[in-house]
Amino acid sequence: MLNQPSPSTVNKILKELGAENVIQKSSEGRYTLGRKIYLWGRVVAAQNTPIQIIRQQMLHIHHNYQVSVNLFTCVDQTMICLECYLDNQTPLLYPAGKCLPLALGVQGAVFFILPETLADSAFLEREAENYETPPKVADLKQMIRQAQLNDIQDDRALFYQELRCFSVPIREHGKIVMTVGVGVSSRRTREGDLVDAITSELQHIRNIVEACFA
């Protein structure tokens, strides 16, 4: 390792890394990971059996039910969409790569927010105020209780009246590392057994992926 390298050495290393597309320089002069690192990450992910399974199952749900399916993780209080298959009827959901502050209305965020925070009525009131039609705190508490009890979230369109979201946590060695969720038009959830089918599919994904992590 280099011990306090000179500025000229640092600049030389940065130029070489940039030439190889390992890093890239933004218009503001900041360095970020380049396309090569991104592609390496995609290759590694493609070789990861749990990720392969998640993608296959997400595509299955997307095609079979014509719904949007998202894979999220949470890093430093930020929800990051790792993968997404969007349906044209649910445009409010987010594309892969989208980063959002950890907030109760983000699909699956309920599983990453600390339980003591979720129990705080003042927090829930602040969260409710972020929406055009603020949900009732009592309804939010009921949603949270059901998510904690059943290990699956159904937001019952509390945040966006035209969009109903479902989500399950995925654990690796007991720790929640990702959530897989589905977004569907609220109108469609009144059709037949769609809600039961979606929740069953999400639970199936969780079970087979967690078995791979075991």
Residues 169, 97: contact at Cβ < 8 Å? Answer: no
pLDDT over 50 at 2, yes or no: no
pTM of the predicted model as reported, rounded to 2 decimal places: 0.75
Cα 113 from chain centre: 13
Cα 72 from chain centre: 2
Cα 146 from chain centre: 20
Q: Which two tokens stand for residue 189?
A: 């959830």
Q: What's the mean per-residue pLDDT of the chain? A: 84
Tens of pLDDT, residue by residue over 32-75, are 666 555 555 655 555 556 888 888 999 999 999 999 999 999 98
Other residues' Cβ atoms within 10 Å of the Cβ of residue 144: 18
Q: What is the pLDDT of residue 67?
A: 93
Residues with Cβ < 8 Å from 92, sequence gap 6 or more? 160, 162, 163, 183
